[in-house]
Amino acid sequence: MIKRYWLNLPLGSKIASLMSLLVLLTIIALTFISIQREQANFEKELAEKADLFLETTSLGIRDQLYRLQLDELVEISNSVRDNPDIDFFIIYDATGKVLVDSRQTSVMFAQEPDALGTQLIKLKTQDIYLVRESDQLITGRVILLGNQVLGAASVGFSTHPLDEKIFTITMQSITLALITLLIGAVLTIFFSRQITRPLSDLNSVVSRMTAGDLLQRVNYTTGDEIGQLGASFNIMAEQLQEREWFRDMFGRFVSHEVADAIRNGQVKLEGEHRSVSVLFCDIREFTDFSENHTPQEVVTLLNQFLPLVVYAAQQHGGMVNKFGGDSTLIIYGAPHEVKDSAYQAILTALDIRYYTQKLNEKFQIAGESSLRVGVGINTGVALAGAIGPNERQEYTVVGNTVNLAARIDGLNKQFPEHDILISGWTYEALGENINKFKLKALGTIPIRGKNEPVELWAVEGLQNSASHQT
């Protein structure tokens, strides 16, 4: 859950959080080191102070302790009690029993040796007892006269000054941490925006480019890595726009089916035999129309008619291979295999007939002459591949199957009452789909380039014509 939440945070928030955490950890570490150093220095100073105090005091009470002048020892203890840095001052006899305690106003006369006193009596001459408790530093040493142990003295120094100093350092560190965090947060937000704002702009541009607007570019003003990223992105965008332009041009002059097949490596450009159905379509009396109209009018007519042919072909898996003025070559089965290619080719022809009728209705309203379209379809084996030199090649199909389809399209002049003609091979390739069409046998027709006559059929429509385009 935490990991997912962190991953979903904006980049600026991540940078600010990490920088704040780094500053906080740094201040905590510095505070800890400072406290440890101050504590060590204070304890060292306190130990030196205690050693000097005990040495001086031991010399001051040695004679009184030797003569057991207890009243003078009590006076010395009372004078020490007035020192605010000392919590207690105790004098022990040679057996470790308490004689004088600054916390008491009189001589103690203890019956049993004190535990601390017993430890102090056993110390060597220059040794000093030093123990840190909760709020005290307890020190002590033995008092000697020559080699004779007279007793011992113990002093408890208060550590309140150290605690106050540590508290002061801690509060100063907390204040410094808050100020540093505030300044760091402002600087972090400022610098993170210098990173995240260009990245956000870049993400916005990428989104618009993904939607299809390849004219988008990134505005970069810095020379750092972000600016270099923006420059590289703009170069990539220009190359992508150029590639898309070439792809669009390629798709205009080469069918999208061929373009995709070539791009995916599915086309054998060196040639292969494929079972195809070939559809030729042209406008009847187009030569007369061209002679009686301006070039602009001819182009306008073709730009109204040819898109209908292309759309009809694409609806049924056909590849528009080439345009020859008013004629169109459509292939079913190359570069991709098309199931029931003969059936799909005839459906395309019927769609062309339907779209032409709709176009003629618009022409009649405008007072223009109607179009007459002829279609010829043949099915068989053809050679599919790239034709032409390396500098300029064209993917197409060649062979008798293609030539015969063109010859059949030309026979529409011989049978003006029919506009869709198919060969006997296409008729046989329909298989179980043959009963879906109204077909009329036209007999065997001699065709130029063929030694034997070719069986010809006319497509009048679908058996259930109401199911076709309405």
Q: Please say whether the beta carbons of 84 and 159 come within 8 A.
A: no
Same fold, 2-163 and 268-467: no
Give residue 342's pLDDT.
94
| pTM passes above 0.75 | no
Structure tokens at 77: 């203890």
The rounded average pLDDT for each run of 10 residues, N- to C-terminus, in the chain (470 residues) is 57 67 76 76 76 80 80 80 82 86 73 84 83 83 85 84 75 78 75 70 76 74 69 77 59 53 56 89 84 84 90 91 86 87 94 92 83 92 80 78 90 89 94 92 85 90 64
Q: Which residues pair with 457 in a beta bridge?
A: 422, 441
268-467 maps to which CATH number? 3.30.70.1230
Q: Which residues pair with 320 in a beta bridge?
A: 330
| 319 backbone dihedrals φ, ψ, rounded to 5° | -105, 115
Tell me the C-alpha distance between 303 and 309, whole Å.
Answer: 10
- In terms of Cα–Cα distance, which of 160, 135, 165 is closest to 85? 160
Other beta carbons within 10 angstroms of residue 248's beta carbon come to 10
**Dihedral sign of CA atoms 403, 405, 409, 414 in order:** positive
Q: Please say whether the beta carbons of 309 and 280 come within 8 A.
A: no
**Dihedral sign of CA atoms 253, 257, 258, 263 in order:** positive
Tell me the C-alpha distance between 297 and 412, whole Å.
Answer: 25
Tell me the C-alpha distance between 222 and 208, whole Å.
Answer: 23
Give residue 253's pLDDT.
44
Q: Could you tell me the fold of the domain covering 2-163?
A: Beta-Lactamase (3.30.450)
How many angstroms separate the first and last alpha carbons of the chain? 58
Q: How is the chain split into domains, by residue range? A: 2-163, 268-467
Q: Please say whether the beta carbons of 135 and 107 come within 8 A.
A: no
